[in-house]
Structures are given as C-alpha cells and as structure tokens.
Amino acid sequence: MACLPAALPALALRRWLGLGLVVLLCLSLGYALEKKVVKSKVGENVGLPCCHEIPSSESLHNYRVYWQKNTTEVVLAYAEGKKICKHKRYENRTEMGTRNLTLWISPVEILDNGPYQCVVQHLRFSQNSIVLCDEPVTLFVTADFSKPNITAEVSANSCESTEMVVRCSSHGGFPKSTISGALNNISVVWNVTWVSESSLSLYNVTGELWLNVTEDVIFTCSIENNGFAKSTSLLLKKTNDCVAPAVPPPYNVIAASSIIIVVFLLAITLAARYLARHVCSHCCKPQDSVEEGVKECMKPPVSYKVTSETSSL
Ligand SMILES: *[C@@H]1O[C@H](CO)[C@@H](O)[C@H](O)[C@H]1NC(C)=O
Ligand SMILES: *[C@@H]1O[C@H](CO)[C@@H](O)[C@H](O)[C@H]1NC(C)=O
Ligand SMILES: *[C@@H]1O[C@H](CO)[C@@H](O)[C@H](O)[C@H]1NC(C)=O
Ligand SMILES: *[C@@H]1O[C@H](CO)[C@@H](O)[C@H](O)[C@H]1NC(C)=O
Ligand SMILES: *[C@@H]1O[C@H](CO)[C@@H](O)[C@H](O)[C@H]1NC(C)=O
Ligand SMILES: *[C@@H]1O[C@H](CO)[C@@H](O)[C@H](O)[C@H]1NC(C)=O
Ligand SMILES: *[C@@H]1O[C@H](CO)[C@@H](O)[C@H](O)[C@H]1NC(C)=O
Ligand SMILES: *[C@@H]1O[C@H](CO)[C@@H](O)[C@H](O)[C@H]1NC(C)=O
C-alpha cells in the first residue's frame, strides 16, 4: 500500500480531458475555496472539513477518501471502509469522521501547518471511480506567546541620570509576531532578537533597550498574540536622586566626629595614664625617695654648721 496521493493523476487527467468551462469554474471556485482556513493552537484538537458528506443511505465502504497535505503526502486514506495508509508523523493523531469525512488532528503540531486537501472518490463503478470533490483547506497553527517579562539592569548611575538596559522577553509563540516597547505610552525603537530551533518551531523573543533615565518612567512591553496583545509594564526609577547625595554627608560627619571624639578620649586616657606613670616614678619608688630623703637628711650638716655657727656664736 503505497501512500501516494493517488487521486491526483486521475483528477488532473479528468481536468485536462474535461470541459474547459468546468475547469474555469473549478479554478474560480478553487480560488475561492483555497481561502478556506482553519485556525488552531498547538496542542489542541482541530477538525478539517471535507467537501463531501456521505448520505445516510450509503457508507464509507463505497468510497475512497484521501486526506493529503500540500498535494504531496498522504495523511490518511480510506478505501472500502478500511484505512489503507497512514503517515508516520500523523500516526495516532488523526481520525476521520465516517460521514462528513472531517479530518481530526489531535494534538496539533506546528509542523501540521499548511494546505490540506480531501479527495473523495465514489467506488460504485470500481474501474472508473468518480472524483466527487477535492477541496483545499489550509490549517494555520499558532501558539500563544507568554506574557512578557521585563527586567531592568542598571549599568551606570549618576546624579543626572540612571543608565540601564531594559529587556523584555516572551517565549513559546508561533508564528513570529510583533513585540513593541513604549516609554510613557510613546513607542520606542529597540533591538529585537528572535530565537527558534527552526523556521517551523516555537519562537522566543527578546527586545532590548539601552536607556538613560532622567526621571521615573513607565515602560510597557506588548506582544501581539493572534489578534490581541499581552503586555506588561514596569516602573523604571531613576535610582540616584540629586537630593540624595546631600543626605549621606551628615551621617559621615557624625561618623567622623564620633571618630574624632573617640580618638580624643583615647588620647586623654593615654595622656592620663602616661602622666600617672611619670608621677609614680617620682613618688612610687620607695628606695629613691628614701635616698632623697637621706640626701635631704644629709643637708642638715649645713644647718648643722649653721647651728654650729650659731652655736659657735
Ligand atoms: C462532522 O461530524 C462530527 C460528528 O460526527 C461533528 O462534530 C463535526 O462538527 C462535523 N463537521 C462538519 C464540518 O460538519
Ligand atoms: C509543499 O511541498 C513542496 C514540495 O515538497 C515544498 O517545496 C513546499 O514548500 C511545500 N509547501 C508548503 C506550504 O508546505
Ligand atoms: C501509536 O499507538 C500504538 C498503540 O498504542 C503504539 O504502539 C505506537 O507506538 C504509536 N505510534 C506513535 C508514533 O506514537
Ligand atoms: C522574569 O525573568 C526573570 C529573570 O530572567 C526570572 O527570574 C523571573 O522568574 C521571570 N518572571 C516570570 C513571571 O517569568
Ligand atoms: C497610557 O495610555 C493609557 C490608555 O491608553 C492611559 O490610561 C495611561 O494613563 C497612559 N499613561 C501615560 C503615562 O500617559
Ligand atoms: C525558549 O524559552 C524557553 C523557556 O524560557 C526555553 O525552555 C527554550 O529552550 C527556549 N527556546 C529556544 C529555541 O531558545
Ligand atoms: C542595539 O544594539 C546595539 C549593539 O548591541 C547597541 O549599540 C544599540 O544601542 C542598541 N539599540 C537600542 C535602541 O537599544
Ligand atoms: C546619559 O546621560 C548622562 C547625563 O545626562 C550622560 O553623561 C551620559 O553620557 C548619557 N549616557 C548615554 C548612554 O547616553
């Protein structure tokens, strides 16, 4: 059982052999029908409608149904009521309505994005099956971006301004969307970086802005999500106030004066101890004082003399 989009050659043949008018009609109809779009989000269950509904008088046994993607790969095919082929990537994710032939895909993946086509053949005359319809339907799979997350990193600070890097990121969305930044409701030009493993996988996005904040501003980051926006705001504060530097000095003065006072007190204490030691050296050495006392006591000879003189007198 080859999983080839077998219905197409028959279809093409029929078209080429068919009436020009019908082809024209088909083309114009086809153009209108190609605009049929089914939207779904990653992980959801989606049903792609087919162009034919089997009447209650008949059953799937009388039909051959091909659900194919991008006219090149068969997603699912039924013939005479039996599944005749299935696609590896869609395995266990697809089902088909037995009456309205709707193709159900669950859970939907981003790779499922693209044009699909249901081709229905009636097998009443098995040699010459009739193509009843082949209708394209485009599946548009999206994924919602997360609520933006804003971070602000101060890189330099001065009295006049605060330089900062503001980053806003959001992840897990598809397809690429619009991420915008605004300062007090005025939109800004910034650097936007998209990251994804491939062009058909979820995107992460980061917006980056270098700012010189001279006054408090509100930064808002918004990401468009399938028609509506998710946004986050952050108040960017000018962290260094010019008045602020005036406040610290008193503290420094207090600290400095405390130090001076402490040093002064220490000096006094040391001086007092030093003096005390010197005084002690005069009064607290008993032998010295005795010697001096003795010396002093030796003076009396003078007085003695005097006395002797006086006595001699
Ligand atoms: C097909 O039938 C199923 C129920 O069997 C229903 O849920 C679904 O809406 C139908 N789809 C269309 C396109 O009619
Ligand atoms: C359809 O298939 C062709 C050939 O395989 C490929 O080049 C093209 O990009 C596909 N288109 C879509 C929309 O997947
Ligand atoms: C599909 O389901 C069957 C039975 O549950 C399992 O054996 C098989 O591995 C599944 N295939 C995939 C691709 O998940
Ligand atoms: C925002 O980003 C920061 C830093 O990357 C992280 O710590 C924080 O959890 C994130 N917040 C949310 C709500 O994701
Ligand atoms: C921004 O705009 C919103 C409504 O659009 C308004 O409520 C808000 O006050 C504005 N903020 C500033 C800072 O202009
Ligand atoms: C996107 O962000 C998510 C969550 O932060 C992370 O797990 C994932 O690896 C990122 N994807 C890429 C392609 O960087
Ligand atoms: C964008 O990035 C470049 C280099 O990383 C930087 O010089 C420039 O200032 C950025 N632009 C904005 C608007 O932040
Ligand atoms: C920010 O502003 C200050 C003062 O206004 C200036 O000195 C500084 O160079 C500015 N920085 C940037 C990145 O513009």
Q: What is the mean pLDDT of the chain?
A: 78
Report the atom number in ligand 1 closest to the C-alpha of 50: 13
Q: Which ligand is nearest to the CA of 149?
A: 4
**91 ligand 3 Cβ < 6 A:** yes
Distance 166 CA to ligand 7 centre (A): 11
Distance CA 78, CA 120 (A): 10
Position 86 scores a pLDDT of 79
**Beta pairing class for 82-86 and 73-79:** antiparallel
**160 ligand 8 Cβ < 6 A:** yes
Distance 148 CA to ligand 5 centre (A): 18
pTM, full prediction = 0.68
For 233, residues 6+ apart whose C-beta sits below 8 A from its C-beta are: 150, 218, 219, 220, 221
Distance 47 CA to ligand 2 centre (A): 22
Which residues of the chain fall below pLDDT 70?
Answer: 1-34, 125-129, 240-251, 253-254, 256-257, 259-261, 264, 274-275, 278-313
Distance CA 136, CA 110 (A): 19
Among 186, 184, 204, residue whose Cα is nearest residue 195: 204
**226 ligand 4 Cβ < 6 A:** no
Distance 100 CA to ligand 1 centre (A): 6
Among 224, 218, 245, residue whose Cα is nearest residue 158: 245
Distance 238 CA to ligand 5 centre (A): 20
Nearest CA to ligand 7 atom 10: 191
Position 20 scores a pLDDT of 39
Position 4 scores a pLDDT of 65
Position 304 scores a pLDDT of 41
Distance CA 73, CA 111 (A): 13
Please give the biggest Cα pair distance in the chain.
180
**111 ligand 2 Cβ < 6 A:** no
Q: Which residues line ligand 1 (CB under 6 A)?
A: 47, 49, 97, 100, 102
**151 ligand 4 Cβ < 6 A:** yes
- List pLDDT tens digits, range 127-148: 666 788 888 999 999 999 999 9
Domains of the chain: 35-142 (2.60.40.10), 149-236 (2.60.40.10)
**232 ligand 4 Cβ < 6 A:** no
